[in-house]
Amino acid sequence: MTAIAEGLTLEEAAVGEFQAGLRGRLVDRIGQTVLTCPTTACFDGLPEAADRVIVGGALRHFGDKYQASKVVDGRRYWRIPVMEGEFLVQEAFGVQRAIGGGNFLILAADQDAALAAAEAAVEVMRKVRGVVLPFPGGIVRAGSKVGAKRYKSMIASTNDAYCPTLRGRTDVTSALPDGVNSVLEIVVDGLDRPAIESALRAGIDAACRPGVVAISAGNYGGKLGKHHFQLHTLLAEAST
């Protein structure tokens, strides 16, 4: 029999594991990439969330007891001295379950056209509330497929169907139309389905620029989660 912490239901235990894992990721990412970056501060983006995790309260230890705290409107903030000046971070952050992995692919004639379209998409998608583009610059050059053909231990590997340099190989079934020589992907995570749908509509519209041959999406055969975003349906709804 598997033991669960006394007094907790399976659901409560799962929530606890979720919060602990997310807290660790937040502390790592903020500590390594935000605290270290000049002029930054970091604040809770979900102040109304019922579930909260301690982030600034952990990062404060970087201050080696030179840190100081201040409570404003019932919320505690930590001032951590750094060589540039100080890093300000909120003690606790709200967390909630969300949706990850909405995406679309920009199939373009060349790298310049693909990048211009992707940057245009990212600019408008970042204005949609409730979403985040999790990859650097919001753009993915190395889209993946589930698993791998030759390395069975891999959970993901290069999406060979969309790699222009593999077109024509007998062991690759290319999904690229004629004239496509570069593909970039935009991935969007969001607090709820409507937020992701709004971001996808805005991004696709902005990406339709000269040099773009087609817009597609990563299709993983239902293996990557229960939330599926049908691009044709999304755009049809936007036009009605």
Q: What is the pLDDT of residues 99-138, one digit of tens each?
A: 987 899 999 999 999 999 999 999 999 999 999 999 999 9
Is the model's pLDDT at 8 over the cut of 70? no
CA 235 from centre of chain? 22
Query: What are 167-200's pLDDT values in tens digits?
Result: 999 999 999 999 999 999 999 999 999 999 999 9
120 within a domain of the structure (yes/no): yes
How many Cα neighbours within 13 Å face the side chain of 26? Answer: 25
Same domain? For 143 and 218 the reply is yes
Q: How many domains does the chain have?
A: 2
Domain end, chosen from 49, 64, 95, is at: 95
Same domain? For 196 and 113 the reply is yes
pTM: 0.81
Same domain? For 90 and 114 the reply is no
1 within a domain of the structure (yes/no): no
d(CA 194, CA 198): 6
Same domain? For 88 and 108 the reply is no
Same domain? For 86 and 205 the reply is no
Residue range of the domain that includes 234? 99-239
Same domain? For 89 and 111 the reply is no
CATH code of the domain covering residue 31: 3.30.70.520
Q: What is the structure's pLDDT at 6?
A: 41
Q: Which of 87, 101, 13, 8 is nearest to 55 (CA)?
A: 87
Same domain? For 24 and 132 the reply is no
Same domain? For 206 and 108 the reply is yes
76 within a domain of the structure (yes/no): yes
Q: Which of 153, 176, 152 is nearest to 164 (CA)?
A: 176
Is the model's pLDDT at 5 over the cut of 60? no
Same domain? For 225 and 127 the reply is yes
Q: What is the structure's pLDDT at 21?
A: 85
Same domain? For 151 and 118 the reply is yes
Mean pLDDT (whole number) for 201-219: 94
Domain end, chosen from 45, 70, 95, is at: 95
Same domain? For 88 and 141 the reply is no
Same domain? For 32 and 138 the reply is no
